[in-house]
Structure 1
Amino acid sequence: MLAIALSLWTRNVMLSLFGGIALGAFILHDFSLFASLETIVKLFFTLLLEPWILKTLAFAVLVGSIMALIERSGGIEGFVDFMQHKAGLVKSPRAALMLSYFIGVVIFVESSITSLIAGAVGKPFCQKYKIPSAKLAFVCDSTSAPISSLIILNGWGALLLGLIATQISLGVIDVNAIDILIDAVFYNFYSMAALLVTFLFIWFNIDIGAMKNTKYTPRDIEITSNGASMFYMLLPIALMVLLVFVFLYITGGGDILKGSGSSSIFYTMLTVLFFTLFYFVGTKNMSLSIWSKTALDGAWKLVPIAMILLFAFAIGEITTELKTGHYLASLATQNLSVTFLAAVIFLIGSVISFATGTSWGTFSIMIPIALPMAVAMDANVALCIGAVISGGVFGDHCSPISDTTIISSMASDCELIEHVNTQLPYALISGGVAFVLFVLFGLYQT
């Protein structure tokens, strides 16, 4: 709560996250200053020794390099020219935002990649049609996590399958993990509602809440005007999408759904970076020195984002130590009717995800709680798992300390707090729809 309040007040995300981390450490050690400081130092050292965290941070930096190289190559300008003049598909603000929406839905391999690509493609069109960057950030954010949690052939699916499989191995339930996960996806009501609300927002230009007051701000987007082919953008992106599946298959020992999400996206971005070296320099699109300078400049620009992600992981660890999720879940399990079980699980997941800024962390907390509860109360297990997924995505979508929220605002050149304030009313509408559906399905199945 302190981290979220500070982020809204100071608009400094790293300071806000550190405030939450420090307060959490003080509570854990009965407000002993030296013990708390020792814990904070050890926490960051421990995080930086975790391979998956190092790969995630490296991924953020590598993405900066690749997106900078694609912009410098002129591939985005070539794509914009093709879509606008040759194909004639983008001739209005609605078409411009719809293109980013379509990209967000098609590229479902990883939520961060989705946001970054949709933002990179959308920014030039937003400049041309004078679209406020907050609208682009909303489209990027509202397609990334929702579509990644609906089409589970990615790291999201691997995580969820692993969590469910763990409960099966403990004897909580005797079902096939893949079957129950596929069933649960059909109850992921928030993600479905968010995609629908975003589509309606674009198509009918529906501005509500803070979105009514957003203004177009001219941005200095450095896109080289060299008449380059759009394939300088399309080929790296296509390779990005393909390689995630390849590395998920390799790290999963032949099973995509058992692959490592962090390893897959890290190896993918590293491979794509080397591909741009041979492709851009080999076709004389740019010299080796320009390639090197552009890659380093792009990486440096995303170092602050990598630091914010590190702080976000740290506050997630602190809230886990405080057992925030288990406490919230215990409050709701007293005298709870099976009819409203899924709806309550959705609300708890939303609060945990909002407070911690991580949907994946919420899944890890809530599935070991929700699945045994559903079995014990003879409720629909798939519906309850769907409620966990929906709650995790909803809270993450609203939270100013969420990695996807931060990356979406960065990818769209939108100020973080403006993005949070303008997106919140739409997210609340989608969340309200999801909550009603969980209640109705709970009533029906009871």
Structure 2
Amino acid sequence: MTELSWLTLLPPFVAIGLALLTRQVYLALFAGIWLGFYLLNHSGVVPSLAEALDGILAVLASPGDARVVMFTLVIGAFIVTLERCGAVSGFVHFLERSRWVTNGKRAQWMAWLVGIVIFIESNITVLVAGTVSRPLFDRFRVAREKLAYIIDSTSAPICMLIPLNAWGAFNLGLLDGLGVDQPLTVLLSTIPLNLYAISAVALTAFTIARNYNPGPMAHAQARTTSGDKDGIDLAASMGEKAHVKPRALNMFLPVAVLILAMPAGLWITGNGEIFKGSGSTSVLWASLAALTVVSVLVLIQRSMTLDELSHTWMEGAGRMLPLAIILVLALALGSVSKALGTGQYVAGLVGDAIPVALLPVAIFLVSGVIAFAVGSSWGTFSIMLPIAIPVAAALGAEPTLFVAAVLSGGIFGDHASPISDTTIVSSLASGTEHIEHVRTQLPYALRAGVVSAVGFAVLGYVML
């Protein structure tokens, strides 16, 4: 297919439509890939299916893409090993022994700070922050809905603002696969432009400082009484064995290695220049180094045998396998969309349909709607980045603002969605009814969303 037409829009639009209709991101992405190869080669329905499968497998032929997929599996092994070796429980006990919290406001600040410190995985963030803070919120008569809002607002947004984790690797892999020059530099440059993540974290801090309780949250705070205050059993939820001793060291040391190994890897692979280093290589090295450290600690402490440890690695990698599959499918969709010229075609329509300056806010809003309906920010990234980046390239614009709009929109929709896994886990960790968490959090999310939309509109006129 050599002539650009509206047909080039079909693969990503079919992926978006099916994702919204079925909430099955995998099937939606695969359908988009299949249709893309059908349009590209005109080889028939069955032959294009074989071409689609080959296109998906071709993703792993790229060393950079393969490294990011491997990192996704390694970080899963690392997270579950932390859960099983008493690291999370030890960290919780460390915070409880500090006795810094003496009132309700300090309880809220502690939940907020824990959400910022634990940035390696969004669900671990909400589980740790919720478990530590829940008894304190009950003690000082602060609504559990407020706790759910605080930990939910400092999970995905912080993971995106401090991308030394699977979130960073996932998007780094997408950017690299879509042909972005210096993907690490672009990803880091999106941090100050990730308006929703910044707004969500800042609004949470303002809420704590000024006791800001709009709408349903005010009613939740008013009806807070001394009900059931039993906390969740963190050790049981993490799958810890009874004989495992909680050790904060098992959290602090591996996470420190994870953080420090990332820039070290960039410096080494970049021959002394961090921003010229290989992001995919560095995150893989960092995750392997952190996994090695926590595994050595486990064996020295004899909390697990080598056989148990290897099974833990496999279980953790298995948990991340769905995300690895989404990544591979997204890269394949991006590849076939690029071959079809989707971005160039959309860019050609911009002058007649949407002013170029309004593209970032439009991308932000569309990404938000998709993430809300699907309940997955990662699924949204995988659908929207293959559209946004080629459009930016066709317009001759830097991709940073477009990428930031997709990331912000994905987090916004996911944050407001009642079917998001992070939203559900936040309700569980705080011990509140899920629908109450959604109702009380939505006014905050919408406020941060409006601020972000206005911000992207302004940035579009300033930067494009």
- TM (norm. structure 1) is 0.70
Are the equivalent residues in 1 in contact too, given 2:363–2:406 (CA < 8 A)?
no
Q: Match for 1:333 among 351, 357, 364?
A: 351
Match of 2:390 in 1: 365
Match of 1:231 in 2: 249
Match of 1:390 in 2: 404
Match of 1:139 in 2: 154
Q: Match for 2:328 among 300, 310, 316?
A: 310
SS of 1:302 mapped into structure 2: helix
**2:67 is aligned with 1:61:** no
SS of 1:233 mapped into structure 2: helix
Match of 1:222 in 2: 238
Separation in structure 1 between the aligned mates of residue 314 and residue 463 of structure 2, nearest angstrom: 56
Match of 2:373 in 1: none
Q: How does 1:140-179 map to 2 (within 5 A)?
A: 140-148=155-163
Match of 2:452 in 1: 434
SS of 1:253 mapped into structure 2: coil
Once the two structures are TM-superposed, the CA of residue 247 in structure 1 deviates from its matched residue by: 0.5
Once the two structures are TM-superposed, the CA of residue 120 in structure 1 deviates from its matched residue by: 5.6
Are the equivalent residues in 2 in contact too, given 1:22–1:36 (CA < 8 A)?
yes
**2:199 is aligned with 1:193:** yes
Instruction: Give deviations 1:341-397, integer Å, cap 9, x for gaps.
Output: 544344347658966636765674355345x46xxxxxxxxxx76633431322333
SS of 2:292 mapped into structure 1: helix
Separation in structure 2 between the aligned mates of residue 126 and residue 5 of structure 1, nearest angstrom: 40
* Identity within the alignment, %: 24
**2:119 is aligned with 1:122:** no
Instruction: Give deviations 1:119-167, integer Å, cap 9, x for gaps.
Output: 4633644876777979745532122224549xxx99989979x96789x
Once the two structures are TM-superposed, the CA of residue 299 in structure 1 deviates from its matched residue by: 2.0
Separation in structure 1 between the aligned mates of residue 273 and residue 169 of structure 2, nearest angstrom: 11
Are the equivalent residues in 1 in contact too, given 2:195–2:408 (CA < 8 A)?
no
Instruction: Give deviations 1:309-366, integer Å, cap 9, x for gaps.
Output: 2223223333333433333333223498xxx754434434765896663676567435
SS of 1:193 mapped into structure 2: helix
Q: How many residues are treated as equivalent by the alignment?
A: 400
Q: Which amino acid aligns with 2:323?
A: I
Once the two structures are TM-superposed, the CA of residue 263 in structure 1 deviates from its matched residue by: 1.1
Are the equivalent residues in 1 in contact too, given 2:76–2:320 (CA < 8 A)?
yes
User: CA 1:126–1:305 in structure 2 vs 1: closer, same or farther (change >3 Å)?
Assistant: farther
Once the two structures are TM-superposed, the CA of residue 245 in structure 1 deviates from its matched residue by: 0.8
5+ residue gaps in structure 1? 108-112, 167-177, 374-383
Match of 1:86 in 2: 98
Instruction: Give deviations 1:230-262, integer Å, cap 9, x for gaps.
Output: 011111111100001111111112111111111
User: CA 1:351–1:39 in structure 2 vs 1: closer, same or farther (change >3 Å)?
Assistant: farther
Are the equivalent residues in 2 in contact too, given 1:248–1:258 (CA < 8 A)?
yes
5+ residue gaps in structure 2? 1-12, 138-143, 221-227, 371-379, 429-434
Once the two structures are TM-superposed, the CA of residue 184 in structure 1 deviates from its matched residue by: 8.3
Query: Which has the larger displacement, 348-357 or 230-239?
Result: 348-357
Q: Which amino acid aligns with 2:307?
A: S
Separation in structure 2 between the aligned mates of residue 274 and residue 320 of structure 1, nearest angstrom: 39
User: CA 1:296–1:309 in structure 2 vs 1: closer, same or farther (change >3 Å)?
Assistant: same
Match of 1:2 in 2: 14
Query: Which has the larger displacement, 352-361 or 236-245?
Result: 352-361
Are the equivalent residues in 2 in contact too, given 1:197–1:430 (CA < 8 A)?
yes
Instruction: Give deviations 1:56-100, integer Å, cap 9, x for gaps.
Output: 121111112111111111111111111123344498773564134
**2:337 is aligned with 1:319:** yes
**2:283 is aligned with 1:287:** no
Separation in structure 1 between the aligned mates of residue 122 and residue 407 of structure 2, nearest angstrom: 15
**2:285 is aligned with 1:241:** no
Query: Which has the larger displacement, 343-352 or 299-308?
Result: 343-352
Are the equivalent residues in 2 in contact too, given 1:342–1:438 (CA < 8 A)?
no
Separation in structure 1 between the aligned mates of residue 188 and residue 62 of structure 2, nearest angstrom: 30
Q: Which amino acid aligns with 2:98?
A: K
Match of 2:3 in 1: none
